[in-house]
Chain A
Amino acid sequence: MMILALAAEVSALRERLDTHERLAAAEQLPTPAAVENYGPSDSVEAGRAAARRAMIDRVTRVLLEPESSRVRAASEPSE
């Protein structure tokens, strides 16, 4: 729960940063009002959805790795 809550915060923060960068790219000041009024296009939203998903994969990977692959990984020689 704590890790998931933190991951949600980091994800929200990344999206806020992305909004800042996109406003800057459009030569707009990233004021609080400009950030609130920003609406992502479908393609921007698709990119954000992929980033969310990738973060979830990274954060939960250890927790949700089936034992078989964990055992296999442990028995492989380390580099």
Chain B
Amino acid sequence: MLIEETHDERARDAFIACLREYAMSEVYPKLRKHYDEVLAPRHAERHGAAPESVDRVRAVMEESPFYTGYSLLVRGTQELLWDTVGETVERQLPALIEKAAALRAGKGSLTLDGSLSLPNYTAAVDIHVMPGGFHTDITEDDVFAGALYDRGVHLFAFGGLGPLNDELGVATAAAVRKQFPNFSPKRILDLGCGAGHSTLPLADAFPAAEIHGVDLGAPMVRYASARAAALGYGLHFSQQDATRTNFSDGSFDLITSTLLLHEMPRPAILALFRECHRLLRPGGVMAHHDLLRWPDEPFDAFMMAWTTRHNNEPYERASGTLKFPDDCVSAGFAAADVFVVAQPGAYLEEVYQVSGIRGARKR
């Protein structure tokens, strides 16, 4: 279901992936070194101590041309990424739409809800600077956002999520299996499933289960449904708000999400936990792959907030500062049933050292 690319489109993509890798693997560590060796000592010279807060880090960083250069590079690459892949998707969109419709007719199911009202926190911002966000239909039966995200995130991670962009979903499924060795879920729900990158690994880990994916974006679930069918999976996708789905109480054994929480404000995350508790049968498990904490160290916290400010991810801090187990307890789970699994080795570990899987089992 992936887009087809010409010689020159592949070359542009490769250049963008190289820019991303350069920025994250080379420039970011240099920026850290520059801060440690030049900027923090400069602050100490002026004020008697290294920066002790994010605001103090910001004050010295924003004086630095190197930091400005880093910001221009990362933001510029992000805009270029969507522009470049977007042009390729638009060129073949009618054919993609036709292909998606034919694939969907084969396996699994797709349910759209044209009357679904988008929550303001999603409608108000194009997350990741991706034009139109995950939800905008630019034409009838559209799959643009799904095709754009599928290829775009691959370049963003410079291939680090694997050929199917599924590394995080594979890790989530493995963590659930390890945490609950005899657990054999019959019905599984993946919240904010996007293009289905993390939904498919659930089917691999639990082949006998009936698997559902929900997302706010119609173009995402249309694409996800076609992509799953193209890869041989029969899954069920629907356009729904993860905080208030139309599924029955106690109708799922396992509910997952991947990199969803950090795009939601705190009240929505708490509503999502309550919805998980409602949807799980006794003994069922919710598992969310996302930030485990927000860094304490001022430089790390400032740089984590870079994406909040410059990559249109305004709610990111809410997921990193969730209170575990308290926020699960307030949703109905017992404190003793809450679990946390750090995920070393997951994508971009050197930059984002704070991700993993958190969740709870319902009594």
Q: Which residues of A contact B (CB under 8 A)?
A: 1, 3-5, 7-9, 11-13, 15-16, 19, 35-36, 38, 48-49, 52-53, 56-57, 60, 63-68, 70
- The contact of A63 among B6, B72, B77, by CB within 8 Å, is B72
A66 touches B38 (CB 8 A): yes
* Bound form: Cα–Cα A35–B69 in Å: 36
Q: Which residues of B contact A4 (CB under 8 A)?
A: 19, 73, 76-77, 80
Query: Given A8-B84, A12-B12, A35-B7, 14 more contacts at CB 8 Å?
Result: A1-B80, A4-B19, A5-B83, A16-B7, A48-B14, A49-B14, A49-B18, A56-B19, A60-B22, A63-B69, A63-B72, A66-B30, A68-B37, A68-B38
- The contact of A67 among B6, B16, B38, B80, by CB within 8 Å, is B38
Which residue of chain B lies nearest to A14 when distances are taken between CB atoms in the complex?
Answer: B11
Instruction: Return A17 CB to nearest CB of chain B, in Å.
Output: 11
Instruction: Return A73 CB to nearest CB of chain B, in Å.
Output: 13
* Bound form: Cα–Cα A42–B43 in Å: 48
B79 touches A1 (CB 8 A): yes
Which residue of chain A lies nearest to B64 when distances are taken between CB atoms in the complex?
Answer: A67
What are the interface flags for B6-42 relative to A under an 8 Å C-beta threshold, 1 for contact and 0 otherwise?
A: 1110011011101100100001001001100110000
- The contact of B66 among A11, A13, A67, by CB within 8 Å, is A67
- The contact of B8 among A3, A5, A16, by CB within 8 Å, is A16
23 A-B residue contacts at CB 8 Å?
A: A1-B76, A4-B76, A5-B83, A8-B84, A9-B12, A11-B11, A11-B14, A11-B15, A12-B8, A38-B7, A48-B14, A56-B18, A63-B69, A63-B73, A64-B27, A64-B66, A64-B69, A64-B70, A66-B66, A67-B64, A67-B66, A68-B37, A68-B38
Instruction: Return B290 CB to nearest CB of chain A, in Å.
Output: 29
* Bound form: Cα–Cα A34–B267 in Å: 56
- The contact of A68 among B12, B34, B75, by CB within 8 Å, is B34
Instruction: Return A30 CB to nearest CB of chain B, in Å.
Output: 11
Q: Determine if B65 is an interface residue (Cβ-Cβ < 8 Å).
A: yes
